[in-house]
Amino acid sequence: MAENIAQKLSSSRIPALGTPILLLSLLAMMTLPIPTFLLDMLFTFNISLALIVVLATVYSQRPLDFAVFPTILLVATLMRLAMNVASTRVVLINGHTGPGAAGDVIESFGSVVIGGNYAVGLVVFAILVIINFVVVTKGAGRISEVSARFTLDAMPGKQMAIDADLNAGLLTQEEARERRKEVGDEADFYGSMDGASKFVRGDAVAGLLILFINMIGGVSVGMAQHGLDFSTAMQYYALLTIGDGLVAQVPALLLSTSAAIMVTRQNSAHNMGEMLVTQLVMNPLVLYVTGGVLFVMGIIPGMPHIPFLILSSMCIGGGYLVKQKNENTQVEIAEAANQQPVQEPVVKELSWDDVPPVDQVGLEVGYRLIPMVDPAQDGKLMGRIKGVRKKVSQELGFLVSSVHIRDNLDLSPNTYRIAIQGATVGDAEVYPDKELAINPGQVFGKLEGIEAKDPAFGLEAVWIDGTQRDNAQALGYTVVDASTVIATHLSHLLQSHAADLFGHEEAEQMLKALAKTAPKLAETLIPDVVSLGTLVKVLQNLLIEQVPVRDLRTIAETLAEYSSRSQDPAILTAAVRVSLSRLIIQNINGLQDEIPVVTLAPELEQILQQSVTGSADDVVGIEPGLAERIQMSLKQLVSQQEAAGQAAILLVAPALRPSLAKFARFGIKGLHVLSYQEIPDNKQIKVIANVGN
């Protein structure tokens, strides 16, 4: 109900007019004569506003629940200064008529509060200013400054922690968005409080200056213009000025106290009263010791016995009551626990909730690697994994699933394990306090450390101390930290197993994205051209051979062209590869115009073609001895091309390409198998070797 009322008020026209009306009111108070009755109402409203702000500060659950406080502080300060200008005008014009010249409120504060003695009033006013300016305002301003600085410094860490929880699946997108907004609001609030505290400090200085200016000006006006003697002028104008100053300083002190309470509050969901009772007097020992000290002070000769002994009795009695209450609460809890019947555990019927889903991508770490994935311990791995997901998703063309991270005490302390679809695809041992120096192929010396291999690419490496980093780089090693090692390994495995991560859900999301740019094509593709299952299979075939699927428009247009000839995913994949030939060649050979390739001898190619009798994905039946010789020859050529810094490409007939690609994929790492049709027209072929001669 309250929320609906607030929404109706916020949607009305009143807030839109509130700011202009306030500005006009402040301007009117500074420029136009104000009747004394209206001045009394404004001073009373100012005191009421200060009391409301103090109580709202005390009873708010968290500082952010009263986030509008800095704005209220500014408005109240400006209004109080405007009223000081208005009251100054009234005092100087009508002050010669007596203490009631500026209204009942100022007269009451000048006569009742300080007893009509302006000397006492000056002392009281000076004390209030000292309390406000030196104690409350200065302390609140310092706390505001420190809180704002610490909040801004901690903001990146809080944002990373939210991203880490989101990547780990602990938060939904909505919850993460809400927490990010809360972090931003907290930084804005403490920054605003730091600025608002300067207004409060300036208001205290202004109040002191206004007092002396009004007193000197009032006495001068009374003596020069109205013929009053010095004593009478001092009596009239001093009392009016001090009353005016006290009327302004009391709410100013209340607002300063509110600001101090607000910036010293903890950002927890408890109001101030609950925290005071819970943390201050709920321990009976505190009250007992305090009562004993007061009793000793009360029986000392010369001390006021009655006040000390009364307060001592109250503290000891309060401690006894608190102790009894705590004991009764413990007894009630114990009785409630004993009264609960002991029930035999009920065997719950199994349901699908008892079958946990398989994580698409999982990372398990040993206990020594936990700090690497904990943002609270300055762990960098979560940020690296997020970057890996983004990079791989952009390269492949679909959103890679979140990586669910958990600790596994069954693993060795320094071991991590990467699983895809519940099956382990890679593991390794890393050392968080060391760095991995990788041998890229040519180095100029050896390093002392723990010998190992790079988990991603199997290169020779050494785990070294951080002090050897510069020396290792000078010797030609590539040096990375443990987080980078795991992130690189994960990136390599995600790209290698991209087809396992792609399914119907990812295909549906890609079709939705295609519908934004080519709505007609997306509308007719499924199911008029091909079924969703066929599309998924074609895209998986491309991913298996490390072909990105981000150009879904070209893929869809090719399927629309060839679907009338065949619905075989292998044949459709071959047609799509031809359409994506420029992208495939660019990923393999870059932008070079000349493509170095290896071909098969005509006799060998004829033998292999005779072995293919079925669809395009049939495996060529090669005699084992011949297969071994072909594999050895191709491996040798791959090594030569890698040494020369060039890609190893085997160019074959279109009918042989799928089978030989599968043959190379499981036996010859680094070999790319292309068909003649997949060479773009603007590229030239350079045959560097012939297999089978």
Tell me the CATH number at 482: 3.40.30.60
Amino acid 205: pLDDT: 75
Residue 301 lies in a domain: yes
Extended strands (E) in 272-368: 361-365
- Classify 386 as helix, strand or coil: helix
User: Using CA atoms, how far apart are residues 133 and 171, in angstroms rounded to an integer?
Assistant: 46
Amino acid 116: pLDDT: 58
Amino acid 617: pLDDT: 47
Residues 382/388/390/392 CA torsion (nearest 10 deg):
-150
User: Using CA atoms, how far apart are residues 519 and 374, in angstroms rounded to an integer?
Assistant: 44
In the structure encoding, which two tokens stand for residue 645, read together?
């810094």
Q: 395 and 327 in one domain? A: no
Q: 170 and 35 in one domain? A: yes
Amino acid 3: pLDDT: 44
Q: 266 and 118 in one domain? A: yes
C-beta of residue 24 within 8 angstroms of C-beta of residue 51: no
Give 435's DSSP letter: E
Q: Which residue range(s) make up the domain with 325?
A: 285-315+319-332
Last residue of a domain, one of 545, 579, 613: 579
Amino acid 620: pLDDT: 53
Residue type, 692: G
C-beta of residue 368 within 8 angstroms of C-beta of residue 414: yes
- Look at the chain and report how many structural domains it folds into: 5
| Domain of residue 618, CATH code | 3.40.50.12790
Q: 96 and 167 in one domain? A: yes
Amino acid 11: pLDDT: 43
Q: 304 and 439 in one domain? A: no
In the structure encoding, which two tokens stand for residue 526, read together?
């499924």
Residue 355 lies in a domain: no
Q: 571 and 449 in one domain? A: no
Q: 218 and 187 in one domain? A: yes
Last residue of a domain, one of 442, 469, 497: 497
Q: 607 and 463 in one domain? A: no
Residue 575 lies in a domain: yes
Q: 144 and 224 in one domain? A: yes
Question: Which ranges of 460-591 would DSSP assign to H, the alpha helix?
Answer: 469-474, 482-496, 498-501, 504-517, 519-524, 532-544, 552-562, 569-579, 581-589
Place of tokens 């903890």: 266
Amino acid 301: pLDDT: 79
Report how far apart, in Å, the C-alpha atoms of 585 and of each of 29, 473, 649, 682 are.
Answer: 79, 33, 10, 11
| pLDDT, block means (10 residues), the chain with 693 residues | 45 53 72 75 80 78 73 79 77 67 66 63 74 71 69 69 67 77 74 71 74 77 76 73 75 77 62 58 72 79 77 81 75 64 59 74 87 78 86 88 85 89 88 88 84 87 87 86 89 88 87 87 83 88 88 88 85 88 85 84 80 52 74 83 81 84 79 85 83 71
Q: 607 and 538 in one domain? A: no
Amino acid 295: pLDDT: 80
Find all residues with CB under 8 Å of 287, minimum gap 6, and list them: 281, 315, 316, 318, 319, 322
Residues 217/223/229/230 CA torsion (nearest 10 deg):
30
Q: Is the peptide bond before 527 cis (omega within 30 degrees of 0)?
A: yes
